[in-house]
Amino acid sequence: MRKLNSMVVCWTLTLFLAGDRAFGQTQETKAPPGGSTDPASERDWHVNGTFYLWLPGIHGQLNAFDSNLGFKASPGDLLSNVDFGLMGLAAIQHKRLVVIPDLVWTRLSTTKTRDAQFPLSPGFSAEVKFTQVVVTPEVGYRLIDDPKIKIDGLTGFRFWHLGTTVSPVRLLSRSRSNNWVDPLAGARIQVPLSAKLTAMIWGDAGGWGAGSQTGYQIVGALSYKIKPEWALAAGWRYLFIDYSQNQFHAEIAQSGIVLGVTHGFK
């Protein structure tokens, strides 16, 4: 039952990891003959698309109707129960304006069988499906735009949808879902280490009782440009959330490796 609960409370396999330099700027900056350019205004628009994979472990505490449960699951436990997953984002920059919409959609399922308590009693078997959708649009302003360091101030919100369906054998299915929105604020720092390699650290915090009580994350990553329009990234992400609503309280922490690939469209 512990493994089943671990799967049901797997809230998200997502990542806030993007940006024109966080995954490698997709086009080279060139100065016009006889002059120099301002890096922030040379090209008005930058648009990148990113697909990524986050492989986290998860642990925490659940409390519902005076029952407390501690849980823990490894990345392997979660991957073995994934039916479907889609993770992607767009990084859009217009001069100093930064817009980053992010989408995560995952579905997990597992089958749980409970043995009969008495010799002549039938056993119980049910399939449990868990669906989560996380949409996180962020808008920011590039506070510092220097060739040696770039700093963005960010704000936005994180929309959560969590749905669970239990389908007992020969009985009607039962479903339950929960939705909420967390406002957030954060920052992103990018430091080019070479013409192709960039280091990035990104963090945000939010909730403040509007949705969850509190939630925060931090991401550290390295990006390597393999072609002018393509970049690969690897890093680590930590995500924590404390949610309490309708006699349900959850404290969940996730951390693990992030892998991504970015293509520049403009």
The tens digit of pLDDT for each residue in 211-260 reads: 888 889 899 999 999 998 999 999 998 988 888 877 767 788 888 998 99
Structural domains in the chain (count): 1
Tell me, what CATH number does 75's domain have? 2.40.128.90
| Mean pLDDT to the nearest integer, 62-88 | 74
Report the SS3 class of residue 213: coil
**Which amino acid is present at 150?**
K
| Structural domain contains residue 33 | no
Q: Is the pLDDT of residue 151 over 70?
A: yes
158, 215, 259 from 177: Cα distances, Å: 17, 20, 30
Give the pLDDT band (50/70/90) at residue 149.
very high
β-pair partners for 266: none
Give 209-214's long-range contacts (Cβ < 8 A, gap of 24+): 210/181, 210/182, 210/183, 211/158, 211/160, 211/180, 211/181, 211/182, 211/183, 211/243, 212/180, 212/182, 212/241, 212/242, 212/243, 212/244, 213/242, 213/243, 213/244, 214/241, 214/242
Please say if the pLDDT value at position 186 is more than 70.
yes
Q: What is the mean pLDDT of residues 182-203?
A: 94
Residue 170: Cβ within 10 Å count: 5
Residue that the structure tokens 């469209």 belong to: 265
Q: Is 58 inside any structural domain?
A: yes
Q: How confident is the model at residue 200 (pLDDT cuts 50, 70, 90)?
A: very high
Which pLDDT score, from 0 to 100, does residue 43 have? 59
**pLDDT value at position 170?**
60
The phi and psi torsions of 96 (rounded to 5 degrees) equal -95, 0
Tell me the residue range of the domain where 205 lies.
2-24+41-111+124-264
In a domain, 31, yes or no: no
| Res 7 pLDDT > 50 | no
Radius of gyration in angstroms for the set of CA atoms belonging to the chain, rounded to a whole number: 22
Which pTM value belongs to this model? Answer: 0.74
Does some domain include residue 100? yes
pLDDT tens by residue, 18-30: 333 334 343 344 4
In this model, does residue 120 exceed pLDDT 70? no
